[in-house]
Amino acid sequence: MSSNLICIKGEKSSQFYKDWKPWLEETADFYMRFLNNHGGEFSHSPAHEHEQAIVSLFQAGSAKAGYLSLCEVEIERREGGGRCDLWMICGDRQYWFEFKRTNYNPKLSVWGLESSLISAMQQVNSSEYDDKHFGVACIVGATDLMTEDREDFYKGFSGKVDYAFRIGPCDDTGMFIYFNLSGGYN
């Protein structure tokens, strides 16, 4: 596994982990290229920009890993149509991702990890899935100041999700990525 990708939580023998490992490794490599090539120009993570910037990073990683993927794909919802942030095919499985990112402080009641997870899961759960189609809430936690207290909070939050990873350096530019699954998984 790439040293820029650390699995904090998740069953490594699962099909999800096997599907996602190449994708997340490539995403971590793209992320490090961004930081190394633009560190002087941008002194922070692209996750601080906006949701589309971070989704495009994950889409680039999936394409480099050889997966078919698209951003902003139409999806059927119980209450009508909608879009998912990232759609990706891995073998005979399809993943429909809803991304949310936290704004600097993971403990905030609005735009913190907890409220972001709730919002993403509401969107994911508004569609129906089966054993080959999976809705996935993806929460990206990034901060401009990685204090020991915040890092402990990020790591502790992994107890509320199915999978958790750290991408990038173990400093203010690193990101924590959390995944919760819906669909055939449940």
Summarised one tens digit per residue, pLDDT across range 16-75 is 999 999 999 999 998 888 888 875 555 566 777 778 888 999 999 999 999 999 998 877
Range of the domain at 125: 5-183
How many other C-beta atoms can be found within 10 angstroms of the C-beta atom of residue 145?
A: 8
Number of domains present in the structure of the chain: 1
DSSP state of 158: G
According to DSSP, residue 66 is labeled T
**For the whole model, what pTM was predicted?**
0.88
Report, as an integer, the average pLDDT of 91-112: 79
Q: Which two tokens stand for residue 33?
A: 């290229």
Q: How far apart are CA 43 and CA 27, in angstroms?
A: 19
Which tokens belong to 123? 């969107």
Sign of CA dihedral 9, 127, 140, 94: positive
